[in-house]
Chain A
Amino acid sequence: MGTPERDVLRRVGEASVLVLVSLAAGPKHGYALIQDVKQFAGVELGPGTLYGALDRLERLGLIESMPADDRRHPYRITAPGAAALRAHLDSLERVSAAGRLRLQLGGI
């Protein structure tokens, strides 16, 4: 296994990661993002939280807004965003595997 990529998503917060996971399936606007996150993660993102996450991700260059459709701005994940998400999920997988193994060894 090579050196793991730097995990830029470690400090952006859960909402930003959820938004990025949702956008990995294709461009979405705010309302669709909230519905999708609720469906796959069971988390209800508040609209203020959503816009905070979108701004943060856009500033980091991990997503970009597309031309407005009526009043709604759809957002899409960028190539660096996809790479960052992959690195973050890899990191989570390593932690998850270690946690499961230790629980098993500990007999808990």
Chain B
Amino acid sequence: MSATGARQARLVGAALRCYPGRWRRRHADEAAELAALLIRDGTPASSIAWNYLVGAAREWLTPRPGRPLSTAAAALLAMTCLLGFSAALVAETVPAKAASTTQPASSPKPARPSTGVTSRRQFTPCRPVTPRLATGASAAAGLLVVQGTTSARSC
């Protein structure tokens, strides 16, 4: 088998390992062979692997007689946490500066006095909270995080 073929087989194999054991015992060999045939026909391995991954998620979330609903609920919770974590990772890549654009229009800007001498403390502008802290905490709670949460300011 060529290096590309081996890599494709590994990719599909990884997706198949996401299925529950009961399913794997029954279908894994056949599914791997089917994937090999489809790849031979020109279907991209990544598309096949993705389709198996979606199928695996569906399989875990389908309540079965031997698998109580709580297992499905736990799987759903784990997926939600994973989504929250992914969203947090994506949010972290957005520069902190972008967060300040979500500030409501009605919020007053710190006014700079035109004349006179006042204490230095009054001119200190509000600083945006770093996205890392805000999104990280939310992701831990398994929540989907929107960038708007980072618009909180510490004054």
Contact = CB atoms under 8 A, between A and B. Distances in A.
Contact of A46 (B23, B30, B48, B59): B48
Given A51-B55, A52-B58, A73 B30 contact: yes
Interface in A30-51: 30-31, 34, 46-51
A47 B38 contact: yes
Instruction: Tell me the interface secondary structure of chain A in the complex.
Output: helix
B54 interface: yes
B51 interface: yes
A25 B23 CA distance: 27
Q: Is the interface on chain A under 10, 10 to 19, 20 to 34, or 35 or more residues?
A: 10 to 19
A46 B29 CA distance: 17
Contacts of B33: 71-72
A31 B34 contact: yes
A74 to B, nearest CB: 10
A47 B59 contact: no
A100 to B, nearest CB: 35
A72 B53 contact: no
B152 interface: no
B32 to A, nearest CB: 8
Contacts of B52: 47-48
Nearest to B52: A48
B86 interface: no
Nearest to A48: B55
Contact of B55 (A30, A52, A72): A52
The 7 closest A-B pairs by CB, nearest first: A48-B55, A46-B51, A48-B51, A48-B52, A30-B34, A71-B29, A31-B37
Interface of B: 23, 27, 29-31, 33-35, 37-38, 47-48, 51-56, 58-59
14 contacts: A29-B30, A34-B34, A34-B38, A47-B31, A47-B34, A47-B38, A47-B51, A47-B52, A48-B51, A48-B58, A51-B23, A51-B27, A52-B55, A73-B27
Given A48-B52, A51-B31, A55-B23, 18 more contacts: A30-B31, A30-B34, A31-B37, A46-B48, A46-B55, A47-B48, A47-B51, A48-B53, A49-B51, A49-B54, A51-B55, A52-B55, A52-B58, A52-B59, A55-B59, A71-B30, A72-B30, A73-B30
Interface of A: 29-31, 34, 46-52, 55, 68, 71-73
